[in-house]
Amino acid sequence: MRRAHSAKRLPVDLPAAAVETADASLQAALQAFLRELWHLGGYSERTVDAYGGDLAAFFGCVARATGRQAGLSDLDAAHMRLWLASQHARGASPRSVVRRRSALRRFTRFLTREGLLESDPAPHLPAPKIGRPLPRALDAGKLKQVLEGSWGSSALDLRDLSICELLYGAGLRVSELVGLDLTDLDVDGGWLRVMGKGARERTACFGTHAKAALKRYLDVRDQLYQQGGGTEAEAAALFLNARGGRLSTRSVQRIVGRRLWDPALGKVNPHLLRHSFATHMLDCGADLRAIQALLGHRSLATTEVYTHVSIAKMRAAVDKAHPRSR
């Protein structure tokens, strides 16, 4: 299953800064690169926009250093090192510098492949070391209390509950959730088809609580579509807003933050529910490979971060309870 991107603004327009700081050949190359990321690479709109902004900032650095618009001949290791060093000097986080380095490397690799550069100048750019922060997970018991609390019975209430149950019950990314269509869902079977990062399709499973919430929502979903007057294209979407259109990621973030706010939980966002899904699965004995498949991680190393979370919890339990640890 390959689903086309939503009918929003295509993120292939050049950043305004690139128009000012790059010559025509470099502008054309950047636009072709962003189009490829969007149409063929399966990258999100946010990622494509971020890469475009990073490269426009790099062109600006080159323009200031040369006193003219940047061109393809200016894409060399010296200018790239200069720009990355300036990011360090301005206090950019190591993670941000790594992303900007990645933008440079992907762009120069694209240019080399297209014959616009004779050789790739970026493979050996230095990268800062970044530690991998341990993901925070919600307390399972407290989250259960909130999910089983009073939510109301309107169509929007039932939609919001099913969103939260599915994010936590299947470990979905928010972008994956809003991209779901009705045809992706098998409620009785307890599974759904998900289009993840890099346009990689996977099967995700969910349990009885998410199943019950989805069934109640589906019984009233058409009320949102009919009252809002959504388009035929939007009729395929699983989760709708009050106007009958496909729900946006920003809306889901607001719904989760508002609906799951509780003094015992603190501030909750969709990705925190994904972290909690993986951590609670591991705590209850799930196989790490199974969690990797459910989350859609390409590498097992990405999933292994959750083992460190569980080890930290075990360490805290020993320190608190064992008589020789006090």
Strands 191-195 vs 201-205: parallel, antiparallel or unpaired? antiparallel
164 touches 256 (CB < 8 A): yes
β-sheet bridge partners, residue 194: 202
Please pick, among 306, 313, 315, 324, the residue that the annotation labels catalytic.
306
Kindly state whether residues 216 and 260 are assigned to the same domain.
yes
Kindly state whether residues 96 and 148 are assigned to the same domain.
no
274 is catalytic: yes
Please pick, among 105, 274, 275, 280, the residue that the annotation labels catalytic.
274
Kindly state whether residues 169 and 109 are assigned to the same domain.
no
Among candidate residues 113, 132, 151, the one where a domain is terminated: 113
Q: What is the CATH number of the domain that holds 164?
A: 1.10.443.10
Of 6-10, 210-214, 238-242, minimum mean pLDDT range: 6-10
Kindly state whether residues 100 and 187 are assigned to the same domain.
no
Non-local CB neighbours of 286 within 8 Å, separated by 6+ positions: none
Residue type (1 letter), 316: A
Long-range contacts of residues 197-204, Cβ cutoff 8 Å, at least 24 apart: 197/42, 197/44, 197/173, 197/296, 198/41, 198/42, 198/43, 198/298, 199/2, 199/41, 199/42, 200/42, 200/296, 200/298, 201/1, 201/2, 202/293, 202/294, 202/296, 204/170, 204/171, 204/172, 204/294, 204/296
Kindly state whether residues 156 and 106 are assigned to the same domain.
no
**Is residue 198 a part of any domain in this protein?**
yes
**Is residue 53 a part of any domain in this protein?**
yes
Encode burial over 147-162: b for 16+ CB neighbours within 10 A, e otherwise.
beeebeeebbbbbbbb
Number of domain units in the chain: 2
Kindly state whether residues 105 and 183 are assigned to the same domain.
no
Kindly state whether residues 26 and 66 are assigned to the same domain.
yes
- pLDDT digits 0-9 by tens, 26-84: 999 999 999 898 887 667 778 888 899 999 999 999 999 999 999 999 999 999 999 99
Predicted confidence band of residue 4 (pLDDT cuts 50, 70, 90) = very low
What phi, psi does 181 have (nearest 5°)?
A: -110, 165
8 is catalytic: no
- pLDDT digits 0-9 by tens, 120-131: 998 888 877 766
Of 69-83, 101-115, 276-290, minimum mean pLDDT range: 276-290
**Is residue 251 a part of any domain in this protein?**
yes
**Is residue 7 a part of any domain in this protein?**
no
- Give the range of the structural domain holding residue 74, as residue numbers without chain letter: 16-113
173 is catalytic: yes
Kindly state whether residues 49 and 165 are assigned to the same domain.
no
Please pick, among 79, 101, 159, 173, the residue that the annotation labels catalytic.
173
Please pick, among 100, 211, 275, 297, the residue that the annotation labels catalytic.
297
Kindly state whether residues 102 and 152 are assigned to the same domain.
no
**Is residue 1 a part of any domain in this protein?**
no
**Is residue 247 a part of any domain in this protein?**
yes
Q: Which residue has the tokens 């969910």?
A: 206
* Better-predicted residue by pLDDT, 235 or 101: 101
Among candidate residues 268, 291, 310, the one where a domain is terminated: 268
Kindly state whether residues 166 and 246 are assigned to the same domain.
yes
105 touches 125 (CB < 8 A): yes
Q: What is the CATH number of the domain that holds 30?
A: 1.10.150
**Is residue 293 a part of any domain in this protein?**
no
pTM: 0.64
**Is residue 27 a part of any domain in this protein?**
yes
DSSP 286: -
168 is catalytic: no
Please pick, among 142, 197, 202, 216, the residue that the annotation labels catalytic.
197
Among candidate residues 73, 96, 113, the one where a domain is terminated: 113
Q: Could you give the CA distance from residue 176 to residue 295 in angstroms, rounded to a whole number?
A: 11
Kindly state whether residues 200 and 242 are assigned to the same domain.
yes
Kindly state whether residues 172 and 245 are assigned to the same domain.
yes
